[in-house]
Amino acid sequence: MTSTYLGTSTGLRLRHDQPNGTLELNAKSPDRSRSAWAGRATRDFKDVDPAELDAELAQRLSWAERRIELPAGRYETLLPPTAVADLLIYQLWSSTARDATEGRTVFSKPGGGTRLGETLSELPLTLCSDPHAPGLESAPFVLAHSSGDGGSVFDNGLPLSRTDWVRDGRLEQLTTTRHTAELTGLPLAPSIDNLLLEGGGERSLEDMVAATTGRGLLLTCMWYIREVDPATLLLTGLTRDGVYLVEGGEVVGEVNNFRFNESPVDLLSRATEAGRTEKTLPREWGDWFTRAAMPALRIPDFNMSSVSAGV
């Protein structure tokens, strides 16, 4: 539990108590050749079932008993909620209005201005932050410890409410402080400490695996994500702790790990299916950002740019 007290010389007095918990488990085979990871984010651990996590890890280690080597290339890929969270959190962090209006980001419009109003996804997806989202509650007012394009100490105490960053597939808002809102002429939209992607179907990740009629890959999670090109928000990173081959709706074995090169903005435009939104723990950003709810995404041509060693 983190308690934050906010006071100013003008008489502002606010307090916020933030419960936050995570559980991460990593299981390995006795010879250390197989590895599986699972994680949960929670407020009070009442919704965490260790036995369920244990069964999940045991199943993945069982899948990995058969090993299949695959070359780099583009594969139909199922991204689990944790991987989707890691990608879209980075997209949120990169969506500052000032940088976009100055032509430095993927949200900059060629010739000037921003891409606000453009369609980013043909799926009716809404990417939002809401300090009152059930189970993902966060501070309902601005808490900024330093100033930058993404936040300002001079905005401390400003009330927060639900903000749709992408609504029904269309870019709706970029993050602003009062200062950058005035500079850009865009609405005030401060950062909020959670992120949800809504508007998918009712299928679970398991249902989406079963609906895979051809050959595809199922990721566990991503690791060591780094930015390559801010103009396209191209990211690179590694798969880790299990990439599985799906054939005819069933997992048939584990494949080697890959390095990937993808932009989350581009992935939204190419996604052909989104599953059921559920609370998830980001693997890469879990030390800084734990309040997320995402669906699994089906990407028809995810770019596995090279083969990576390790488990």
Buried b (16+ CB within 10 A) or exposed e, 191-223: bbbbbbbbbbeebebeebbeebeeebbbbbbbb
What ranges in the chain are assigned the alpha helix state H? Answer: 50-63, 81-93, 97-101, 178-184, 205-210, 264-270
* Alpha carbon distance 197, 164 (integer Å): 10
Residue 35 CB coordination number (10 Å): 21
* Alpha carbon distance 300, 217 (integer Å): 10
* Alpha carbon distance 44, 144 (integer Å): 25
Task: Spell out the residues 6+ positions from residue 237 whose beta carbon is closer than 8 angstroms to its own.
Answer: 222, 223, 224, 225, 226, 259, 260, 284
**Residue 268: what residue type?**
L
SS3 144: coil
Nearest to 118, CA basis, from 129, 127, 130, 109 = 109
Please count the CA atoms within 13 angstroms of the CA of 278 that sit on its side-chain side: 17
Model pLDDT, residue 287: 93
Q: What does each of the 311 residues of the chain score in pLDDT, given as a tens digit?
A: 999 999 999 999 999 999 999 999 999 999 999 999 999 999 999 999 999 999 999 999 999 999 999 999 999 999 999 999 999 999 999 999 999 999 999 999 999 999 999 999 999 999 999 999 999 999 999 999 999 888 999 999 999 999 999 999 999 999 999 999 999 999 999 999 999 999 999 999 999 999 998 999 999 999 999 999 999 999 999 999 999 999 999 999 999 999 999 999 999 999 999 999 999 999 999 999 999 999 999 999 999 999 998 66
Beta carbons of 192 and 160 less than 8 angstroms apart: yes
Beta carbons of 296 and 79 less than 8 angstroms apart: yes
Q: What sign does the dihedral 32-251-67-306 (CA atoms) show?
A: negative
Model pLDDT, residue 309: 81
Model pLDDT, residue 148: 87
Nearest to 82, CA basis, from 267, 270, 284, 265 = 284
Q: What sign does the dihedral 277-27-237-151 (CA atoms) show?
A: positive
Model pLDDT, residue 130: 98
Beta carbons of 234 and 105 less than 8 angstroms apart: no
* Alpha carbon distance 94, 110 (integer Å): 17
Structure tokens at 301: 């041509």
